[in-house]
Chain A
Amino acid sequence: MTTERDNTGFWTVAIGAPVLLSVLRLWIEAGGELQTTLLLVEHVDPINLVAALVATGSWLVSAMFVAALAIGGMLGASGETAARAWLARWAEQAPSWVKLGSFVIAAFTWQLIYLPLLLLALCAAYQLTPRRVWVALVCLALYGVVIGQTLVEAFRLPDPSTRAMAVLLLAGPAVLAVFIAGPLRPRAVRPFAIGAPLLGVAMLLWAALPLVTTPVLPLTVTVIGGPEDSVEYVRGHVITTDDVHMVVLEESGQVRYIDNDLIEAQDLCPTSQEIPRYRLRFLFPGVEPVSLEHSVLSGLGQANRGSTPGSPACRSRTR
């Protein structure tokens, strides 16, 4: 009975959180203005809203499942008392397709930089451990070959946070993955059962914050003709276009109706949230270097179509 209630609660969060995020994003996009919100609701297709959320937030949902499975797997292997914790029970009873699906979606949608953490979570969730020391050493050596060149490159870059990240996120999880499977010490079960989910929730909330503030509509710069041969650059999100006007929600929050005849050019722009945090790229002989902040999916997309430099017009701020 308790298990069923826990399961219901978990699924309520898993389904409800994305819906809540969608609503929050729309509200934030409108800057809390009633009329702007109504304008957005009128023109933003719910399907597009959900599609945008899936494109930007599926990694977060899979992270929630992976974290729950990893913590549950650790508690499940740590004796009867620990196995009664709700996360352990959920992890035990979750259908295989949920478990496998979470890891597969995570593998494709997480940034490359976090994939070593996924490996660690996989070992914790499924209690995978090498049975012989030499197997562990061979696994680590192979892993070292895969990330070696990238690690060396990290230490060549001047930024100390890149070096710290390389050690913490690229090298650290692989070493810990060798030892993660197995029972926790009885005294450690309770602190782990409380601390790990709390940290998980805090991290997920921290990660969800930028997701909520990510605009629903694409950012553009529209160049329009002004008086005396001048031009004006209008930065904002295009809400809709008809035969007469283009309606733009400016970054300042103002909604502007621009006469189509005045439009001279328009460029798609990245937002400041999209600035890469690290200059490090994954390097491996024979493989095209790819940014560690790409996921496998976006990396494949870029390999297929290539990346385009942003238009310099996106720098403009004229009023």
Chain B
Amino acid sequence: MSATRSRLTTLSAFLSVALIAASAACVPTGPTVDEYRAKSPTLAKADRERVLRIGVQDQLPLMSEHDQATDKWTGFEVQIATLLAHQLGFTRPESYQFIRLTTEKRISALQSGEVHLVVADFTVTDERRKLVRFAGPYFLTTPEIMIRRTDQDKIKTIDQLKQVKVCTTGGSTSAEVLTKYGVPHSLLAKGAECAEGVRNGTYDAHCTDDVAIAGRVHRFPEFAKVDMPFSDTEPLGVGLPLDDPYLEGLVAHYLKKQLDLGDRSQWQAAYDANLQVVLGPKQQPPLFPGYPVLRDHDDDQRR
């Protein structure tokens, strides 16, 4: 009995030594937020310039609008962009800037370095992924049609749409959808120009995503939305420079943190304050798979 006991004790003693040695080896080695923040070339540039420049649209009701009189930016996308600027370390109002971008300029502005990131109703597509990076989605939309309220009986189907003058923005996914369904259309630089064209009769319909239409219909009662059977769901993502996987990982990390917070998130607060009134209750969509899992200071507090 005592020999057996002694063997067990010896085995336990050496196993204990091995266990302590092994425990030192099993340390997680994943990248940290701090490492990605330090490695991002885009953020290094913004740090040197002491300002983070964010590309946004400026006449998209409830999404992003600029009030000339007060010089204030408002809207869902503005709040998401502000949240990201803060999380990336640009916490003071003087340390980040909103830059107006037309739909067509979103990619070239990122490529030229005019802006560091884009939060401007920017749909993620495979073609665009060849030119810029995306973190997201932070919102899901579908392409729809906006017409004059007085024309509600005239334009109800895609066939009827093909008979009228349709406008959309150049370089947009809405233009691709119209082409796919064989709808002739004109291309303008900004959605606001299309909306003005519909108002003054230059055009009969404006094709864009449902969230942009919902904002305009809410703001301007002369417009109405038509539910067309376009089946495509469009994910909106934060546009980022192609050469910066670190910024992509960071933005995805902060969007994931919002997702984890659920109803308590700033995303939800931004949605409820701006879009819920026109789109009803919604929750933040899940992120695309494949983003790196970054270790952060609040990891042991998050669930």
Q: A residues within 8 Å of B by Cβ? A: 74, 117, 120, 124, 158-159, 161-162, 164-165, 168-169, 172-173, 176, 178-185, 188, 192, 195-196, 199, 203, 206, 223, 226, 229-233, 264-265, 270, 272, 274-279, 281, 291-293, 307, 309-319
Contact = CB atoms under 8 A, between A and B. Distances in A.
Interface in B7-28: 7-17, 19-24, 26-28
Interface in B76-125: 86-92, 94-95
B72 interface: no
Given A203-B24, A231-B95, A312-B87, A180 B12 contact: yes
Interface stretch (B30-38, B195-203, B210-218): B30-38
B130 interface: no
B13 A230 contact: no
A168 B19 contact: yes
Contacts of B296: 275
A180 B9 contact: yes
B298 interface: yes
Contacts of B9: 179-184
Interface of B: 2, 5-17, 19-24, 26-30, 32-34, 37-38, 43-44, 47-48, 50-51, 86-92, 94-95, 293, 295-302
Contacts of A310: 297-298
15 contacts: A161-B27, A164-B22, A176-B12, A178-B12, A182-B9, A188-B13, A188-B14, A199-B21, A230-B94, A230-B95, A231-B92, A233-B89, A278-B300, A315-B33, A317-B44
Nearest to B95: A231
Nearest to A312: B86
Given A188-B13, A188-B14, A318 B91 contact: no
Given A182-B8, A277-B28, A278-B300, 14 more contacts: A172-B15, A183-B9, A184-B9, A184-B13, A188-B14, A206-B24, A226-B50, A233-B95, A275-B34, A275-B296, A276-B295, A276-B299, A276-B300, A317-B89
